[in-house]
Structure 1
Amino acid sequence: MIYREFGNTSFKTSTIGMGTYYDMRWIFKTYLGIYSGKDQKIDAYRAGIDNGINLIDTAELYRTEKLVGTAIKSYKRDELFIATKVFPTHLSPKSLEKALNRSLKNLDTDYIDLYQIHFPNPAVDLKKTMRTMEKMIDTGKMRHIGVSNFTLNLLKRAQGILSKYEITSIQINYNVFHRNSQKAMIDYCNKNHIAVMAYFPLGHGKVTQPQFNKYFDHVRKTIGDVPNANIALAYLISRNQNVFPIPRASNRAHVLQNAKNSDILLNLNS
């Protein structure tokens, strides 16, 4: 397992994390009290932790915070880096504080390592949101500020508002099929020590489709019989030391496969 400092923190996380978004069908069913495959998902998180993955990303939208909270109970909290996200309708100061407290309760933890704005909301004053985030760090309930789905200009604006702390990370759609369009964002984050959390790192599973095997076969000649998915993840962490892919942790087998092949680095110059 490869570990790297996460953005401007001193915390070293596994380069490959675990994402906990499943789909809208899962989310809708949870409101009916149906948590399909709940035990399987919790087992997957524990399998990841047991094999060195210490970066876990969730969100109040995903309805998986309680599952993560259950999974991490038997582990040392200070050895895990738990990230969650606040829904865009909860960005006003009072709503933001309530949302943070709900997430803390769901995760059954005293603090959240990385609290992220899931999507920007132009109807809410960004200045008030960012200043409230700084105040919440001072309470000890959260340690770092992150954003998700922000444009580069909005990221710069959010960073400019902060006076006491800095933005630690941004989540973007980043994978082998969707990489060149993110160059400006990646370059800016590298210069400013902002970690990039890559969601959909497998392109919605696109890399696993047989028609793409030929694009990965030349890599297998040097690293052995490794699945397309793991080559795609290795590409992201080899291309940039500031990128942390968070593939979905859906079952133990997939998580163990990711952990097993997490130390592969590709020679992208060859």
Structure 2
Amino acid sequence: MTDLDLPLGLGTSGNDDHEECAATVAEALELGYRHVDTAQMYDNEAAVGEGLERAFSDPDVDVEREDVVVATKVHPDNLAPDDVRETTEASLDRLGLDYVDLLYVHWPTSAYEPEATLPAFDDLAEDGLTRYVGVSNFTPTLLREAREILDTPIAAHQVECHPLFQQDDLRALAADDGHHLIGYSPLGQGDVLDNDVLVDVAERNDATPAQVALAWELARGVTPIPKGTGEHVAENYEAVDLDLPESDLKAIDEIGAEERLVDPDAAAWNQ
């Protein structure tokens, strides 16, 4: 395990309204979030950067740059070595930062060529443009291959993960290999909110189903990055203080659903 601390984060996928995204990021940091996730593909890095700057420059918000893990991802079309550097520098410009804390290969598709792409990420880490390197949407086979090629340890693997798609194998692999598993779509794009098990657990614990889903992930070693705006940003963050009893965690473990919401072909999941 690297020394990177990855608390529950703010996801920004789909939030491409500039003002709403910037305001949400600033609000999240004021509430206590210390991990913000974006991507070249999301077309909102400039808005995320504005939200970061608002929080960093606000004397009423007790947060500084070094307190926040900022993560972005290189678009699959930009994974040729020269493009990795050029587009990462462009991402930093949009974010208004000298470096990101975590830079991911977004999908192992399109221009991704392990022997060419991954050394370019090593170079960025060596040059200080990113503190850590991560991958996203990799199969176990692709993950092991990347680990063999990279000189920089893989700090994080980001995948779809929620109570209806629990990623047992990848959670075990992360624990064995010592990297963080980051869960996107941790609320199953809203499907967990109506799940009978989650609803029952929420009622027993004076919580919402969303908070229960996030608390389950945290308890099972996954860092969720829920996206949200308005009151949901605060609601989601309260999950960090929700300590579910083991009996309720096991009830969620036993749901047994395999509800993948993201197209597996896009992640080369047949490899």
Q: Deviations over 1:178-233 (max 9, x none)?
A: 01xx2221111101111111011001111223xx2x32344235421x11111111
1:139 aligns with 2:127: yes
1:40 aligns with 2:28: no
Where does the alignment leave 5 or more consecutive residues of structure 2 unmatched? 57-63, 249-271
Letter in 1 for 2:6: T
Count of aligned residue pairs for this structure pair: 240
Normalising by structure 1, we get a TM-score of: 0.84
Decide which of 153, 160, 163 is 1:173's aligned counterpart.
160
Decide which of 185, 195, 214 is 2:170's aligned counterpart.
185
Letter in 2 for 1:100: T
Residue 261 of structure 1: SS of its match in structure 2? helix
Q: Deviations over 1:14-58 (max 9, x none)?
A: 2x21101017xx5xxxxxxxxx4x322222212211121111110
Q: Which has the higher contact order (CA 8 A, sep 6+)?
A: 1
1:252 is displaced (CA, Å) by: 2.6
Match of 2:143 in 1: 155
User: Structure 2: how far apart are the matches of 1:162 and 1:253?
Assistant: 41
User: Structure 2: how far apart are the matches of 1:203 and 1:156?
Assistant: 27
1:261 aligns with 2:239: yes
User: Structure 2: how far apart are the matches of 1:123 and 1:104?
Assistant: 21
Letter in 1 for 2:197: Y
Residue 131 of structure 2: SS of its match in structure 1? strand
**What is the RMSD computed on CA atoms of the aligned residues?**
1.7
Residue 40 of structure 1: SS of its match in structure 2? helix
Kept after mapping to 2: 8 A contact 1:198/1:245 = yes
Kept after mapping to 2: 8 A contact 1:147/1:170 = yes
Letter in 1 for 2:179: I
User: Structure 2: how far apart are the matches of 1:104 and 1:9?
Assistant: 23
User: Structure 2: how far apart are the matches of 1:217 and 1:129?
Assistant: 44
Normalising by structure 2, we get a TM-score of: 0.83
Kept after mapping to 1: 8 A contact 2:41/2:75 = yes
Match of 2:266 in 1: none
Q: How does 1:123-138 map to 2 (within 5 A)?
A: 124-138=112-126
Q: Taking every aligned residue pair, what percent have the same amino acid on both sides? A: 28
Match of 1:58 in 2: 38
Match of 2:3 in 1: 10
**Divergent runs of 4+, >3 A:** none
